[in-house]
């Protein structure tokens, strides 16, 4: 039972969090991964039961031949009988699970829920995984014609370079920053610092994308406990409230968009979240964005107004995205270097933002006092977008 302050205005609070180390190939089964993250998060919150379980996952049915992860993981976590469903929104599945957990509490249907992001994908060969991920594209005009997310993002990158007449070398600091932060994160996949020179000398893996522009294939699971009320005193941690949760879409097929470089869905979801939370971009202390590819990070920074259109890369060059910069991103390594276990990434973002806001960031803790964190999870090439604002109370 969670003791609450009856005078506290109801809302949605994160009262516990847990994450598994992101690995190239986890020794645990997919149900074991989800169950461990959930039980660890419940132990962190000091609770034994929840009203519902929301699982974010994209690929289990395709590559593990296992659907109904909600019920599967509920049973493995000792929560058989609890309401449980799986949310799929491609790479934004974790963010979708977080939003559904948020809505369950805000609607009054639930008091306490667990949100778990979960993906086990590295037990298959790279070609099969790449083809499976491509099902999140517009299959008729993209995936079914041989396109992969690597080639789709490479196309966006090349379009950006051609439009603004800049060198791909200017994107180096996105990778350098991510690897630097991941190197301090014990739960990250990649513990390797890189330099600008390493980036410039790295091989191109598709058109204008270098290996340090793309996130790696990996396994992972993370979970947060959401509650209607915060505990009176939980491990002397500050209370963290989700003050906004928004979602938006854009055409899945890039060719159907008026201006693919505008990132209209990212802008729509992000600006709505700021409006709902009653804040501006100047209030945001850090941003866990969806840096699966450095071009998406760039377009995101521009879409939300952190940089002018065509100048998002300048925030990287000027080191404004680093821990000591004006808008730190990927503070634990991001998707690029912490790793991108597809359906779990959005929940890893929530866990990491919670850690920053409660002072549990360890070597990754930002030196400045942080109060407001923004997280954004994206499915496809910016076609399903979920944005959340987390505030330290």
pLDDT tens column, 364-384: 999 999 999 999 999 999 999
3-state secondary structure of 5: coil
How confident is the model at residue 2, as a pLDDT? 41
Find the catalytic residue in 179, 234, 290, 340.
340
Active site residue 340: yes
Percent of the chain topping pLDDT 90: 94
234 confidence band (pLDDT: 50, 70, 90):
low
- Cβ partners under 8 Å of residue 140, min gap 6: 253
CATH no. for 13-125+217-227: 3.40.47.10
- Cβ partners under 8 Å of residue 135, min gap 6: 62, 143
Find the catalytic residue in 65, 91, 179, 180.
91
Mean pLDDT of the chain: 96
3-state secondary structure of 387: strand
What mean pLDDT comes out for the span 252-271?
Answer: 98
What mean pLDDT comes out for the span 9-24?
Answer: 93
How confident is the model at residue 140, as a pLDDT? 97
Structure token digits, residue 312? 């998002």
Active site residue 110: no
pLDDT in tens, 143-163: 999 999 999 999 999 999 999
Give bridge partners of residue 113 from the DSSP assignment.
52, 226
**What is the C-alpha separation between 182 and 334, in angstroms, rounded?**
8
**What is the C-alpha separation between 349 and 25, in angstroms, rounded?**
21
3-state secondary structure of 335: helix
Q: Please tell me what DSSP assigns to residue 258.
A: S
How confident is the model at residue 123, as a pLDDT? 83
Listed by start position, the domains of the chain span 13-125+217-227
How many Cβ atoms sit within 10 Å of the Cβ of residue 350?
31
DSSP states along 306-363: SS-TT-HHHHHHTTTTSTTSSS-B-TT-IIIII---GGGHHHHHHHHHHHHHHT--GG
How confident is the model at residue 3, as a pLDDT? 38
Token look-up 């419940």 returns: 42
46 confidence band (pLDDT: 50, 70, 90):
very high
CA 97 → CA 80, 270, 341, 354, distances in Å? Answer: 19, 17, 15, 16
């Amino acid at each position: 039972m969670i003791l609450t302050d009856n005078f506290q205005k109801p809302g949605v609070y994160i009262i516990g969090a847990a994450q598994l180390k992101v690995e190239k190939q986890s020794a645990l089964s997919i149900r074991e991964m989800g169950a461990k993250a959930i039980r660890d998060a419940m132990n962190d919150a000091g609770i034994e039961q929840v009203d519902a379980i929301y699982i974010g996952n994209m690929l289990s049915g395709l590559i593990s031949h296992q659907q109904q992860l909600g019920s599967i993981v509920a049973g493995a976590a000792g929560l058989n009988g609890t309401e449980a469903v799986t949310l799929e929104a491609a790479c934004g599945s974790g963010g979708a699970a977080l939003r559904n957990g948020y809505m369950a509490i805000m609607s009054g249907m639930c008091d306490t829920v667990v949100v778990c992001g979960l993906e086990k994908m590295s037990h298959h060969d790279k070609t099969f995984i790449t083809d499976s991920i491509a099902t999140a594209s517009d299959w008729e005009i993209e995936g079914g014609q041989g396109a992969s997310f690597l080639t789709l993002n490479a196309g966006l990158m090349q379009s950006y370079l051609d439009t603004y007449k800049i060198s791909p070398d200017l994107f180096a600091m996105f990778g350098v920053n991510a690897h630097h932060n991941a190197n301090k994160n014990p739960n990250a996949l990649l513990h390797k610092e890189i330099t600008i020179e390493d980036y410039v000398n790295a091989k191109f893996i598709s058109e204008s994308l270098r290996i340090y522009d793309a996130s790696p294939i990996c396994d992972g699971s993370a979970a947060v406990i959401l509650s209607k009320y915060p505990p009176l005193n939980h491990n002397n941690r500050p209370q963290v409230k989700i003050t906004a949760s928004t979602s938006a879409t854009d055409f899945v097929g890039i060719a159907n968009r008026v201006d693919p470089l505008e990132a209209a869905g990212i802008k729509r979801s992000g600006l709505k979240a700021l409006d709902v939370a009653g804040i501006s971009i100047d209030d945001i202390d850090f941003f866990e964005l969806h840096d699966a590819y450095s071009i998406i990070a760039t377009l995101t920074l521009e879409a939300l107004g952190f940089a002018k259109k065509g100048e998002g890369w300048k925030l990287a060059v000027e080191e404004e995205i680093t821990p000591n910069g004006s808008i730190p991103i990927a503070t634990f390594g991001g998707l690029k270097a912490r790793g991108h276990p597809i359906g779990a990434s959005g929940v890893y973002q929530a866990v990491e933002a919670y850690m920053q806001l409660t002072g549990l960031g360890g070597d990754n803790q930002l030196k400045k006092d942080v109060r407001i964190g923004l997280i954004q999870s994206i499915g496809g090439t910016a076609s399903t977008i979920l944005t959340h604002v987390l505030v330290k109370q």
